[in-house]
Amino acid sequence: MVPVRRAASTGIREDAPLYPRGRQIRFVASSPQGVSLAIGRPVLEPRLRDAPGWHAQDAERSGQIMEYGIHSLITVPLRAGALVLGVVSFWRSRKPEPFDTDELALAEELVARAAVSIDNARRYTREHSMAVTLQRSLLPRSLPDQNALEIAYRYLPAQAGVGGDWFDVLPLSGARVALVVGDVVGHGLHAAATMGRLRTAVHNFSALDLPPEELLTLLDELVGRIDQDEAQDEDSAPVTGATCLYAVYDPVSRRCTAARAGHPPPAVVGPDGGVEFWDVPVGPPLGLGGMPFESAERELPEGSRLVLYTDGLVEDRRHDIDVGLERLREALSRGGGSPEEMCGAVLQSVRPARAADDIALLVARTRALSAGRIAEWPVPADPAAVGEVRAAVTRKLAEWGLEELTFGTELILSELVTNAMRHGGAPIKVRMLHERHLVCEVYDSSSTSPHLRYATMTDEGGRGLFLVAQLAERWGTRYLPAGKVIWAEQSIPQT
């Protein structure tokens, strides 16, 4: 007989000599419980003294039970469809009359109803565990390396059900970093899976180096298409109503640009400890379509802390969201200096006692790239200027102690500057950033983008970008309101 474990036990008196809760039991085949489990039907033992199969289970304990006054037993299998979950035993001690067939029918009805509830709880627990596992696999397990921000985060799943909150830190070109928080409506597997789709989409869209408002527009269109695809599936909940906040910080200019789609506003804690909620224009939730998104830009002095969060942190059924925002403001004002300290202080002060929704919290302290690690040169639209750029780059790399990168950097910038002169437009500018990587950028006023191709033996050109791609760890194009930037990153040798 398969062993079972006593999950619950109760009665008018608590001192009955029955198997205690948590005890593993292996019922013998002749016992009433063993028979119920084997045949899937209830068993009535009106008089335990005349039940040899029951005595065979545990003779010593059977004697103690008889001495206690228990004299009659009903066992009912706990069934959910064809699945047997366990067995329920009803014991009688105070009434002298044994159980009868009417009480057997009542016991069977009670157990049938309990089995439905237990099976529902079992299914919910299994789905919840699957959703939590899926959710954890889709969220970032660690933060990427970058120097622009010192970041701490917390993610707390809801107690009642897994939601679709997510966050991300995405290094961009030019030493910039994007911060993302989002929230998919609903709970369960569907919300977690949809969160994974949107997070992946933001990853891909961020690689295009789009302004925040344009990225949210693409994400809004994607959510609309997802809803259209799932509209005919009755089991699929719509994604419309998902929210997102996307912010980009530039450590060179110390400026941050942000846009939001139905998401709570970010908080900014200044170096002096002052707290304000940044009035980023709020667009509609994702998936509604037809409405433009707007971005806001502001300077963040070095040491400022940018706080992004989901609505589970500030919303509570017991009070309005304004109350939650004010509590968040108070917690941030006394939250300490480091992002880690601030995360701990916020959750200790603001987190609801029983969170009905997931909570994602991201605190980023800004850093600035010092002027000594930035080099810029205007480039005249004259091919002879390429040599002057190479000479200036060689001197700057020697000043930074990066002589090992001289050959590759000269070649990369020569190709990019020459390309800007041939296919771009004036003014042309070269910028180098000595950050975690060596970043080379060439600015021009044209919006045409170069494309990597493989030149044939007879082609006179087309090999420049191929060489750049081979020498750089990664490269790409970033568009500006008046032109574009072609950039390339090289790894800095470890000393």
pLDDT in tens, 254-308: 999 999 999 999 999 999 989 999 999 999 999 888 789 999 999 999 999 999 9
CA distances for 25 relative to 2, 31, 71, 324, angstroms = 9, 12, 21, 51
Contacts of 428 (CB under 8 A, 6+ apart): 378, 379, 380, 381, 417, 420, 421, 442, 443, 444
3-state SS assignment for residue 391: helix
Contacts of 211 (CB under 8 A, 6+ apart): 257, 259, 295
pLDDT value of residue 233: 62
Q: How is the beta sheet containing 267-269 ordered, strand by strand? A: 149-156, 359-366, 305-309, 267-269, 275-277
Alpha helices for 139-262 (secondary structure H): 189-206, 212-230
CA distances for 124 relative to 119, 121, 483, angstroms = 8, 5, 54
Other Cβ atoms less than 10 A from the Cβ of 100: the count is 12
Other Cβ atoms less than 10 A from the Cβ of 445: the count is 14
pLDDT value of residue 451: 65
- CATH entry 3.30.450.40 includes domain 4-131: yes
**Topology given in CATH for the domain delimited by 139-366:** Phosphatase 2c; domain 1 (3.60.40)
Separation between Cα atoms, residue 425 and residue 490, nearest integer Å: 26
The residues spanned by each domain of the chain are: 4-131, 139-366, 371-491
What's the whole-number average pLDDT of the chain? 88
- CATH entry 3.30.565.10 includes domain 371-491: yes
pLDDT value of residue 160: 60
pLDDT value of residue 42: 94
Give the residues across from 345 on adjacent strands.
none
* DSSP 8-class letter at 30: T
CA angle 332, 335, 340 (to 5 degrees): 110
Separation between Cα atoms, residue 39 and residue 455, nearest integer Å: 78
pLDDT value of residue 161: 62
Contacts of 186 (CB under 8 A, 6+ apart): 163, 164, 237
381, 389 contact by CB (below 8 A): no
Q: Which of 156, 173, 175, 174 has the alpha carbon at shortest distance from 165? A: 156
pLDDT value of residue 460: 47
Find where tokens 């789709």 sit: 197
277, 241 contact by CB (below 8 A): no
Burial 365-389 (b: 16+ CB within 10 A, else e): bbbbbeeebbbebebeeeeebbeeb
Q: Which of 89, 83, 11, 104 has the alpha carbon at shortest distance from 57? A: 89
405, 427 contact by CB (below 8 A): no
Burial 37-46 (b: 16+ CB within 10 A, else e): beeeebbbbb
3-state SS assignment for residue 474: strand
Separation between Cα atoms, residue 361 and residue 266, nearest integer Å: 11
Angle, in degrees to the nearest 10, between helices 385-400 and 406-423:
150
302, 253 contact by CB (below 8 A): no
Running along the chain, 495 residues long, what does each successive block of 10 average in pLDDT?
Answer: 83 85 89 91 92 89 90 92 89 91 94 92 82 76 91 83 84 96 82 86 94 95 83 62 94 97 95 94 89 95 96 82 89 86 89 74 96 94 87 95 93 89 86 95 85 54 74 90 92 83
Q: Is 349 exposed, middle or buried (0-12, 13-18, 19+ CB in 10 A)?
A: middle
Please report the sign of the dihedral spanned by the C-alpha atoms of residue 336, residue 341, residue 343, residue 346.
negative
Burial 3-27 (b: 16+ CB within 10 A, else e): ebeeeeeeeeeeebebbeeeeeeeb
pLDDT value of residue 429: 94
Contacts of 414 (CB under 8 A, 6+ apart): 386, 389, 390
CA angle 154, 266, 156 (to 5 degrees): 20
